[in-house]
A and B are shown apart, each in its own frame.
Chain A
Amino acid sequence: DAKTTQPTSMDCAEGRAANLPCNHSTISGNEYVYWYRQIHSQGPQYIIHGLKNNETNEMASLIITEDRKSSTLILPHATLRDTAVYYCIVRVRPEFEKLTFGTGTRLTIIP
């Protein structure tokens, strides 16, 4: 699986959009980008995933660059409950049974 690089921590003001970057410069054509988050030692929670097109769901938007070497998770109107560690993961279809988490980005929403 491609390695991902994320900032260790970020702050965002409540009500503003939180933009979390992820670098996956060695991603291959059949690898998907996934985002999960973990709120204070609870079990991780799936957010969104994509291959090459931008994706949006009720929780967030995922923007993947055209060369697929990086992506950004966008939480459009961050609330205090969005304070969590956010994990960017790339996952290749034949090995979907393995989900490898890195250390993620600790996002703190500031009131």
Chain B
Amino acid sequence: EAQVTQNPRYLITVTGKKLTVTCSQNMNHEYMSWYRQDPGLGLRQIYYSMNVEVTDKGDVPEGYKVSRKEKRNFPLILESPSPNQTSLYFCASSLYAWTEEQYFGPGTRLTVT
């Protein structure tokens, strides 16, 4: 089944403890991106990747890192999480950046205390 998977789905952590949220797609898509969703603010793009080893900042990249060493994986790294990074995170992929349809993962709900 074609899908985007994220792990973990739920995570509660403490301020400053490094964490990684994994994202994987099995559709051989070149484009992948990360979004966060907060009440009243909609979805905001954090980082995106046009292809392996090519990443760029979205609208809200501060406090996040990403890497794209393989086409299928695009992990989101929070080196020192803070409470303002408590949010619902979505990974998405599409064949190319300009492809009409982006496929979204199920989401990761992160709470930083």
Q: Which residues of A contact B (CB under 8 A)?
A: 34, 41-46, 49, 87, 93, 96-104
Contacts and interface: CB of A to CB of B under 8 A. Distances in A.
Q: Count chain B CB atoms within 10 A of each CB in A42, A44, A87 and give the residue with the most.
A: A44
B104 A96 contact: no
Given A93-B98, A97-B48, A99-B33, A43 B105 contact: yes
Nearest to B104: A43
Interface of B: 4, 31, 33, 35, 40-45, 48, 50, 56, 58-59, 88, 90, 92, 97-98, 100-107
Contacts of A104: 42
A46 B50 CA distance: 19
20 contacts: A42-B107, A43-B92, A43-B103, A44-B43, A44-B90, A44-B102, A46-B102, A46-B103, A49-B100, A97-B33, A98-B48, A98-B59, A99-B102, A100-B59, A101-B35, A101-B42, A101-B44, A102-B42, A103-B40, A104-B42
Given A99-B45, A100-B59, 18 more contacts: A42-B104, A43-B4, A43-B90, A43-B92, A43-B106, A44-B102, A46-B100, A46-B102, A96-B97, A97-B56, A98-B45, A99-B33, A100-B44, A101-B35, A101-B42, A101-B44, A103-B40, A103-B41
